[in-house]
Amino acid sequence: MQEFSKYFTVEQAQTILPEIRGQLQCISQIRGDIRQLGTELEGAGASNGEAKEAQSQFTELVKQLEVLVRQVQASGVILRDMDKGLIDFPSLRDGKTIFLCYILNEKSIAFWHTIEDGFAGRRPI
């Protein structure tokens, strides 16, 4: 059986969801900004002053992203997909490890799945 640093009840996961949701929204925004700056950097000349500024912004955004990801992980939540805002909360059901599953912009945590079934096996709580 896979071990996790923390296991959540549905109530515990719902309680921390607003904070995690805010972090996921920031992660999603920063990922979009990083992609946009990456595209700009690909088209800019290396000696261009604007390119140097964009590179500086890119580096800062990556640092911010790393901090947010560490914060989510430190809470015991598993970040599965930064772009979709897909996370899992390790939980126990009938003595077995399962995941309470959430995707950014869902109203609440309403689904769970087994480790084996993964996201494709999501079931209503």
pLDDT in tens, 38-71: 887 877 655 566 778 888 999 999 999 999 999 9
User: For the packed helices 49-74 and 10-43, what is the interaxial angle rounded to 10 degrees?
Assistant: 170
Q: Give the pLDDT score at 44.
A: 64
* Residue 7 predicted with pLDDT over 70: yes
DSSP structural state of residue 121: G
**Range with the poorest average pLDDT among 15-19, 54-58, 63-67, 101-105:** 54-58
Cβ neighbour number for residue 29 with a 10 Å cutoff: 13
Q: Give the pLDDT score at 3.
A: 81
Q: Give the pLDDT score at 42.
A: 78
Rounded to an integer, what distance in angstroms lies between the CA atom of residue 18 and that of residue 72? 12
pLDDT single digits (tens) 87-100: 999 999 999 999 99
Q: State mean pLDDT over 12-23.
A: 97
Which residues have CB under 8 Å from 105's CB, separation 6+? 85
Q: Give the position of tokens 């911010």.
A: 64
Q: Let me know: does 82 contact 69? Beta carbons within 8 Å.
A: yes
Q: Give the position of tokens 């009840």.
A: 9
Q: Is the pTM of this model over 0.85?
A: yes
Rounded to an integer, what distance in angstroms lies between the CA atom of residue 104 and that of residue 72? 13
